Amino acid sequence: MQTVNILSLTHLGAADKAQIQAVDPAVRLTDAGGWFDGEYRETWPAFTAERYLKPGTTGRGTREERDRLLAEADIVIGGWPFPLDLRARAPRLKWLHQRPAGASNLLRGDLWGSDVIVTTSRGAANALAIAEYAVAGITFIAKGLHRAAIDRDAETFAARAYRPLLLDGKTACIVGAGGIGGQVGRLCAALGMRVVGTRRHPPTEPLPAGFSYVGGAADLDRLLPDSDVVVICCQWTPETERLFNKDRFAAMKPGSILVNVARGEIIDEDALADALARDHLRGAALDVYVGEFERPPIASLWSDPRVLITPHISGASDEERHGGTDLFCDNLGAWIDGRPMRNVIDWERGY
């Protein structure tokens, strides 16, 4: 077989490189992590560059050298950010693998809707770390821990204001019971919670570990009124944009908790702020928000002490548990052999 040129736009560790190169003798891997940082600073919002690039990085090589790397690539391993004109500069490109789990990350660039095969690390990324974050957010709100900061600033305790909840026996609804959602449900069940969920295509038996029920998207409205906790883990697609709107918040159980570890655009943030203002919800933990790559959160949410907002850090941890390399290598073998690949984005479906 002729040489397969793989270009990684994100830094890879030595073990990852060795694993990829071991798939087939024809593989030639080039690690260009950091090379395009200067371009990202010029083409992406300053807010994005400040958040996702190392301070002071300006990239490597000349524009001509970077163009040559892209022009020679048969396969690209992408990260975040990425060259917005990647398709135009990579005429030989057959396949791009996106190490993040979210397909919506690619909406900005010229790859979306193109003839290039694109796969993601959906279900194989840092699912356990994200699930632990979701449980931490649930517990933070359930135990009223936001009150500690209020009391510290006031230099006095208001003990009755905490109103802690017992999670054992409560119901958690996981919206998007896939790879990440499955781990969230498993951890919630370990706390003694009853776990239900939804996904685009309900699984056949057996159910994911810890779940007592998983239905389709149409079952969400039936599950919300009985759910004490709702965790959003689904992909952002045209079908899920503003999935949680005024009507859905009204359908949620009074005093319930909302957690979002997916994408901010799945929530109508004005409707969420209104539900909180009416005390319909106990609180929300949001690792994502609308426009997170361009600006801070809206003031009505960021200023509310019942809302925990973090800068999309739920997948981070002190251990590398990202399964994207395993998934990529499985797909690389399939691509070389002409077999079907996993996690190929359906442009019409949106993931």
Backbone dihedral angles phi then psi of residue 258, each to the nearest 5 degrees: -115, 135
What span, in angstroms and rounded, lies between the C-alpha atoms of 78 and 73? 12
Say if residues 261 and 129 touch (Cβ distance below 8 Å): no
SS3 of residue 173 by DSSP: strand
292 tagged catalytic:
yes
Three-state DSSP at 233 gives coil
The DSSP output letter for 84 is T
Report helix, strand or coil for 230: strand
Q: What is the token pair recorded at 201?
A: 């295509």
Of the candidates 186, 263, 282, 322, the residue annotated as catalytic is 263
Question: How many Cβ atoms are within 10 Å of 272's Cβ, its own excluded?
Answer: 27
Q: How many helices (H) and strands (E) does the chain have?
A: 13, 12
> Can 322 be counted among the known catalytic residues?
no
**Amino acid in the structure at residue 80:** W
Give the active site residue among 99, 248, 312, 322: 312
Helix H or strand E segment including 97: strand 95-98
Task: Write the DSSP string, 278-333.
Answer: TT-EEEEEES--TTTTTSPPPHHHHT-TTEEE-SS-TT--SS----HHHHHHHHHH
Backbone φ and ψ of 178, nearest 5°: -100, -135
Catalytic status, residue 295: no
What distance in Å separates the CA atoms of residue 37 and residue 238, rounded to the nearest whole number? 30
Question: What dihedral do alpha carbons 255, 143, 270, 279 form, nearest 10°?
Answer: 40
- In degrees rounded to 5, what are phi and psi of residue 220? -60, -45
Residues annotated as catalytic (active site), given as ranges: 263, 292, 312
